[in-house]
Amino acid sequence: EVITINLDTPLYKGSISLNTGLFINGEFVRPQESQDAGKIDIINPSTSKPITSVHLGSSLDVDIAVDAARKAFKSTWGLHVPGSVRGQKLQRLAELIEENLEEIAALEALNCVASLILGKPFAQAKQELNMACITTLKYYAGWADKIHGKTIETNETKMAYTRREPYGVVGAIIPWNNPLAGLAWKVGPAVAAGNTIVLKPSEFTPLSALRVASLINEAGFPPGVINIVNGYGPTVGASLASHPLIAKIAFTGSTITGRKIQEAAAKSNLKVVTLELGGKSPNIIFDDADLEQAIKWAGIGIFANMGQACCAGSRIFVQEGIYDAFIQGFTAVAQHLQANTGDSFSSPNTLHGPQASEAQYKRILSYISSGISEGAHVQTGGEKHSDGEGYFIKPTIFTNVTPSMKIAQEEIFGPVAAVIKFKTEEEVIEMANNTTYGLACAVFTENISRGIRVAHAIEAGTAWINTYNTIENGVPFGGYKQSGIGRELGEYALEK
Ligand code: NAD
């Protein structure tokens, strides 16, 4: 079923055609009638009105997709195809996305603004699509013919060799906060290594993935190599996690769901599991930091993508000597964003957009209430944005935060910073590590020895020094503790 979305905005004008079905075995199909779960309205978070509705799959559709993916793995993909050929197809897919960049970025910005850098939502959606999706697919296209084993000589007369074999069918489940990065981070390494894949986008943000699905055949992939089944987590997602013929499940989302995925994997066929989960990442600013830089990156760390980033720097520890000056500058950043809030397309001056869904919007507001009732001080923000129907929340800074408060412990996934003052390096390391999460951290200091020392002492998969949210295709990304298992990106994603 093809629908057309007409956009006539100051920043983007155009008609976008989209198939709202499931993409299985190289074609768009309707869900199996006997278990048809109907359709889901896809909401524009700037207006809270539906953009369109798309079909929802069921476990039966997952079975069909897995079957197609297995057949492809055994005949037209896997090690039946030279790595160079797999790479060419991935490269072509990346180029096709690039050729349709404006349109796909418009769909993304309409459904959820996705950007790890601060700024004009539509322009950033384009930049993000390029940096976090197109270049990632190209990066893995480059890897496809460079995956090989080793020779191990055990003595003069004996040697063994290792062979890098794909798993078979990979199941992938991604969240709504950065839909096309999620897609590329899963599809790129899986398909480059010779696996076939069944991917479930978030039920809230499937539009851009469906548009990409329409390019898969043109890129030259045989039917069944990349399948996209939209649907709810407890149905389509759970079926992927428990499917006996899926060899590996790659999940990005909340820690609660990650636990369910691991359980389902253990109970079904002990499939390999990688989990990219939540975070409560500490951003540590020492007295000797370059203040202007620290303020800029702290803003990017917590307010980019409206705080909907797994690696968001949501706990900001500031040393006492620089504290007042930092708060002053950081407040100005939040207020500048508050003054330039709006939808993705109306004005080139817009810097801050809506939260992605009503549920998240309400959840964030309830965390703000909890911060207030636990005695934290609202330095700025602390409420919804007054205009319009959308899910807009003012970039918020809490001061007088103590480490045991809910806003300092739990992942809010919104534009809410909890600032905590500290005195010594030892004290801040202890506080920073006092969390069940361990995805990322940052240290701001002009003393490089201290920067490295503290970065090493923090239990986090990624440690930035004097920067934030800097993610590179070649650098592994993933969590310690309950932030995840396994690593994405780089050659690391090809290893598990
Ligand atoms: P979520 O766990 O609710 O949903 C993520 C995905 O899992 C969705 O596609 C959803 O449909 C599916 N799902 C839900 N229940 C399921 C079940 N029982 N079985 C199988 N699949 C199921 O998370 P969310 O609210 O969509 O996303 C936000 C979370 O994702 C945050 O906690 C954030 O930190 C995390 N996240 C992590 C990373 C990372 O790389 N570490 C990146 C982005 C988001």
Give 176-211 as a DSSP string.
Answer: SSSHHHHHHHHHHHHHHTT-EEEEE--TTS-HHHHH
| Tokens (6 digits) for 1 | 């079923």
From CA 88, how far away is CA 92, in angstroms rounded?
6
| pTM strictly above 0.90 | yes
Helix (H) or strand (E) holding 470: none
Q: Which of 276, 320, 389, 472 is catalytic?
A: 276
Which residue's CA is the nearest one to ligand 1's atom 12?
233
Question: Which atom of ligand 1 is nearest to 253's Cα?
Answer: 30
Q: Which of 268, 399, 231 is nearest to 323 (CA)?
A: 399
Please give the sequence-ordered ranges of beta strands (E in DSSP) within 320-404, or none if there are none: 377-380, 396-399
The position carrying tokens 């103590």 is 402
Please tell me the chain's helix, strand, coil percentages from 3-state DSSP, rounded to the nearest 5: 40, 20, 40
- What is the model's pLDDT at position 131? 85
Question: Is any atom of ligand 1 closer than 6 Å to the C-beta of 274?
Answer: no
Q: Which of 188, 235, 237, 179 is nearest to 206 (CA)?
A: 179
276 is catalytic: yes
Instruction: Quote the ipTM score.
Output: 0.93
Burial of 373 (0-12, 13-18, 19+ CB in 10 A): exposed
Given a contact cutoff of 8 angstroms between Cβ atoms, the answer to whether 314 and 412 are in contact is yes
Given a contact cutoff of 8 angstroms between Cβ atoms, the answer to whether 36 and 226 are in contact is no
Could you tell me the distance, in angstroms and rounded to a whole number, from the CA of residue 332 to the centre of ligand 1? Answer: 32
For the chain, 496 residues long, give each residue's pLDDT as a single digit of tens. 899 999 999 889 999 999 999 999 999 999 998 877 899 999 999 999 999 999 999 999 999 999 999 999 999 999 999 999 999 999 999 999 999 999 999 999 898 865 555 555 787 788 888 889 999 999 999 999 999 999 999 999 999 999 999 999 999 999 999 999 999 999 999 999 999 999 999 999 999 999 999 999 999 999 999 999 999 999 999 999 999 999 999 999 999 999 999 999 999 999 999 999 999 999 999 999 999 999 999 999 999 999 999 999 999 999 999 999 999 999 999 999 999 998 888 888 888 999 999 999 999 999 999 999 999 999 999 999 876 789 999 999 999 999 999 999 999 999 999 999 999 999 999 999 999 999 999 999 999 999 999 999 999 999 999 999 999 999 999 999 999 999 999 999 999 8
- The alpha-helical segments, DSSP class H, found in 349-460 are 358-373, 406-409, 425-432, 448-457
Given a contact cutoff of 8 angstroms between Cβ atoms, the answer to whether 210 and 19 are in contact is yes
- What is the model's pLDDT at position 113? 67
Which residue's CA is the nearest one to ligand 1's atom 32?
254
- What is the model's pLDDT at position 117? 57
Question: Which atom of ligand 1 is nearest to 264's Cα?
Answer: 19
Could you tell me the distance, in angstroms and rounded to a whole number, from the CA of residue 195 to the centre of ligand 1? Answer: 23
- What is the model's pLDDT at position 126? 85
Given a contact cutoff of 8 angstroms between Cβ atoms, the answer to whether 121 and 344 are in contact is yes
Pairing of strands 22-24, 27-29: antiparallel
From CA 325, how far away is CA 496, in angstroms rounded?
45
Given a contact cutoff of 8 angstroms between Cβ atoms, the answer to whether 191 and 88 are in contact is no
Q: Which of 309, 22, 367 is nearest to 175 (CA)?
A: 309
Burial of 157 (0-12, 13-18, 19+ CB in 10 A): exposed
**Ligand 1, pocket-test mutation among 111, 257, 276, 355, most atoms within 8 A of CB:** 257
Could you tell me the distance, in angstroms and rounded to a whole number, from the CA of residue 253 to the centre of ligand 1? Answer: 2
From CA 180, how far away is CA 369, in angstroms rounded?
32
Question: Is any atom of ligand 1 closer than 6 Å to the C-beta of 177?
Answer: yes
